[in-house]
């Protein structure tokens, strides 16, 4: 494989990974509100979220593999596994390693949710909210085309999508059916007790 093809594949896979991760995070944020597009059953939205996350891992693997074997950077597998171990742009690549490991922890525990239990899975799943901005900063700071207009537009679109999803979640509040049931039960109990 020639160096130019590796260079394009690494950059392209990185950009696609960020787009897929953004879609997965934004959809995950929205589904906590029990949101789904009109006419879509919730299980379909959950399946889309899960498949986006798995596809993100595929492109992340391609991004890491091509970056490691690219002779220009001489990264090696150590830099792909141990944060800040690279001699080439150690901070930016270290952030990428951290983002990848956080994302991997989220996906692995999601696949093994029955083993870990819901509470542990939920706590670890919050790492996706940390993985996304770390991945975004990694992309902003590394790569020969990190300052290019096309990549800055992708970064801006991704940031807008996640911020919009979080904004919608904050503005619209939670629609946790258990929370609503608890509130209704507490209100009825308080009425019964004359409070």
Residue 11 has pLDDT above 50, yes or no: yes
- Asked whether residue 175 carries a pLDDT value surpassing 60, the answer given is no
Per the model's pLDDT, the better-predicted residue between 167 and 40 turns out to be 167
Domain extent for 9: 3-192
**What pLDDT sits at residue 177?**
47
Can you give the pLDDT at residue 178?
Answer: 42
How confident is the model at residue 65, as a pLDDT?
94
pLDDT in tens, 111-153: 888 898 888 888 888 888 899 999 999 999 887 777 889 999 9
The total number of structural domains in the chain stands at: 1
Residues in the chain: 195
Would you state the structure tokens that stand for residue 30, as one six-digit string? 């929205």
- Residue 154 pLDDT greater than 90, yes or no: yes
Question: pLDDT at position 174, please?
Answer: 57
User: What pLDDT, on the 0 to 100 scale, is given for residue 47?
Assistant: 87
Q: What is the pLDDT of residues 21-75, one digit of tens each?
A: 999 999 888 887 666 666 777 778 888 988 999 999 999 999 999 999 988 777 8
Using a CB cutoff of 8 Å and minimum separation of 24, what contacts does 174-177 make? 174/32, 174/33, 175/33, 175/34, 176/34, 177/34
d(CA 26, CA 10): 24
Nearest to 28 by CA among 6, 9, 47: 47
């Amino acid at each position: 494989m020639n160096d130019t093809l590796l260079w394009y594949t690494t950059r392209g896979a990185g950009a696609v990974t960020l787009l897929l991760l953004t879609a997965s995070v934004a959809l995950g944020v929205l589904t906590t509100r029990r949101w789904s597009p009109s006419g879509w059953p919730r299980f379909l939205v959950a399946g889309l979220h899960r498949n986006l996350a798995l596809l993100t891992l595929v492109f992340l693997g391609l991004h890491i593999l091509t970056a490691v074997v690219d002779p220009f950077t001489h990264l090696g597998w150590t830099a792909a596994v141990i944060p800040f171990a690279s001699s080439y742009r150690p901070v930016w690549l270290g952030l990428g390693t951290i983002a990848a490991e956080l994302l991997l922890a989220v996906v692995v525990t999601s696949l093994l949710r029955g083993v870990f239990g819901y509470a542990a899975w939920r706590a670890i799943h919050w790492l996706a909210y940390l993985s996304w901005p770390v991945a975004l900063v990694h992309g902003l700071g590394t790569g020969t085309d990190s300052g290019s207009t096309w990549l800055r537009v992708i970064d801006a679109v991704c940031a807008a999508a996640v911020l919009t999803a979080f904004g919608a979640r904050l503005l619209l509040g939670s629609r946790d059916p258990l929370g609503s049931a608890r509130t209704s039960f507490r209100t009825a109990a308080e009425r019964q007790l004359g409070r």
